[in-house]
């Protein structure tokens, strides 16, 4: 009887993962296999014979991923804007969509030497750390209220600093207190935020509704409870002419821009994700 080889289990995994990973099913299967075998996915050999224990472990990870457990919770890592970040249960696993938020933030501080940046609702630290990596001259503060997420932020910040990136200052506390936490008052050039924005009663895939931390997904009855805190905090943090870039998802393509205008921001624009759905808004802080 021919031994089970890695390629056989990967071929078996792909259709099982299509419901959650779609076109990324093969890549995600390789990520899970790399976790089991302790090698990078690029180094996998499809002809490698697998013993029974490895087959069972890989099939179990595939089963859990197919149920909706985020890939990062199963592998312990996520790649965001080219940076590898530690993630796991209790912290939101960053999505590739949020790289568009990062790109908008980077554009906002082009030409500003040594910009001061605040990442609100930082989670794993993805936005702030990626900004610091791209702009070594930036002074970046990351604010997160959840102790589990803060631990991941600090671990990721320490690792990136050890690898040579500019150190990011991590603060534990709510976005509403960001001014007091960071010591910034009308001094930031850029505020980035990926707050929870889904209404509490919204139906979402299990990956977000069941397995991602609830406090990082749902934002009150209308989904805007934390978004409002972010907007208010940005009013105090940003210098005149400073920019806020806030992710809010497709349900708030009209409500968040309206909120920003009501709060006195100008140059308000809403931008889509890779699929054409509203994803984030940017706005400029005017003089008080």
CA 76 to chain centroid, in Å, comes to: 14
CA 268 to chain centroid, in Å, comes to: 23
Instruction: Report percent pLDDT > 70 for the chain.
Output: 99
Work out the pLDDT band at 25, boundaries 50, 70, 90.
very high
Q: How far apart are CA 153 and CA 169, in angstroms?
A: 10
Q: What is the mean pLDDT of residues 93-118?
A: 97
Q: Where are the beta strands (DSSP E) in the chain?
A: 77-80, 83-86, 116-120, 139-144, 169-172, 188-193, 238-247, 266-272, 278-284
Within 144-282, residue ranges assigned H as helices are 147-162, 178-182, 206, 225-237, 255-262
- pLDDT score, position 90: 95
288: pLDDT strictly greater than 70? no
2: pLDDT strictly greater than 90? no
Within 89-125, residue ranges assigned H as helices are 98-108
Q: How far apart are CA 147 and CA 149, in angstroms?
A: 5
For 229-284, the pLDDT digits (tens) are: 999 999 999 999 999 999 999 999 999 999 999 999 999 999 999 999 999 999 99
Q: What is the mean pLDDT of residues 36-57?
A: 95
Return the closest-CA partner of residue 125 out of 164, 148, 152, 102. Answer: 152
Mean pLDDT of the chain: 97
Q: Between 287 and 165, whose confidence is greater?
A: 165
- pLDDT score, position 97: 95
1: pLDDT strictly greater than 70? no
Return the closest-CA partner of residue 156 out of 207, 93, 219. Answer: 93
Distance (Å) of CA 182 to CA 26, 126, 202, 217: 43, 18, 33, 24
Q: How far apart are CA 70 and CA 212, in angstroms?
A: 7
- Furthest-apart CA atoms within the chain: distance in Å: 77
CA atoms within 13 Å, Cβ hemisphere of 221 = 0
Instruction: Report percent pLDDT > 90 for the chain.
Output: 98
- pLDDT score, position 27: 96
Work out the pLDDT band at 3, boundaries 50, 70, 90.
confident
Q: How far apart are CA 149 and CA 125, in angstroms?
A: 9
- pLDDT score, position 287: 78
For 108-138, the pLDDT digits (tens) are: 999 999 999 999 999 999 999 999 999 999 9
- pLDDT score, position 215: 97
- pLDDT score, position 107: 98
Query: For the chain, first and last CA: distance in Å?
Result: 77
Q: What is the mean pLDDT of residues 85-104?
A: 97
Q: How far apart are CA 107 and CA 103, in angstroms?
A: 6
For 169-216, the pLDDT digits (tens) are: 999 999 999 999 999 999 999 999 999 999 999 999 999 999 999 999
Pairing type for strands 169-172 and 139-144 reads: parallel
């Amino acid at each position: 009887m021919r031994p089970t080889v890695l390629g056989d289990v990967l071929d078996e995994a792909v259709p099982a993962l299509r419901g959650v990973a779609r076109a990324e099913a093969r890549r995600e299967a390789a990520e899970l296999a790399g976790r089991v075998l302790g090698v990078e996915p690029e180094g996998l050999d499809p002809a490698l014979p697998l013993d029974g224990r490895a087959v069972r472990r890989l099939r179990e990870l595939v089963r859990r991923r197919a149920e909706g457990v985020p890939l990062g919770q199963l592998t312990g890592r996520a790649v965001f804007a080219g940076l590898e970040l530690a993630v796991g249960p209790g912290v939101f696993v960053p999505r590739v969509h949020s790289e568009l938020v990062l790109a908008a933030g980077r554009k906002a501080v082009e030409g500003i030497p040594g910009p001061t940046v605040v990442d609100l609702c930082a989670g794993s630290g993805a936005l702030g750390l990626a900004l610091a990596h791209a702009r070594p001259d930036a002074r970046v503060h990351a604010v997160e209220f959840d102790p589990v997420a803060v631990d991941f932020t600090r671990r990721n910040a320490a690792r990136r600093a050890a690898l040579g990136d500019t150190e990011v200052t991590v603060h534990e506390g709510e976005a509403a207190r960001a001014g007091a936490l960071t010591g910034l008052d009308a001094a930031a050039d850029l505020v980035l935020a990926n707050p929870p924005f889904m209404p509490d009663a919204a139906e979402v895939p299990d990956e977000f509704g069941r397995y991602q931390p609830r406090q990082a997904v749902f934002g009150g009855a209308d989904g805007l409870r934390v978004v409002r805190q972010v907007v208010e905090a940005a009013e105090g943090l940003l210098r005149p002419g400073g920019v806020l870039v806030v992710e809010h998802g497709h349900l708030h393509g009209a409500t968040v821009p309206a909120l920003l205008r009501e709060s006195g921001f100008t140059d308000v624009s809403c931008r889509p994700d890779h699929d054409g759905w509203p994803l984030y808004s940017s706005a400029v802080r005017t003089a008080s």
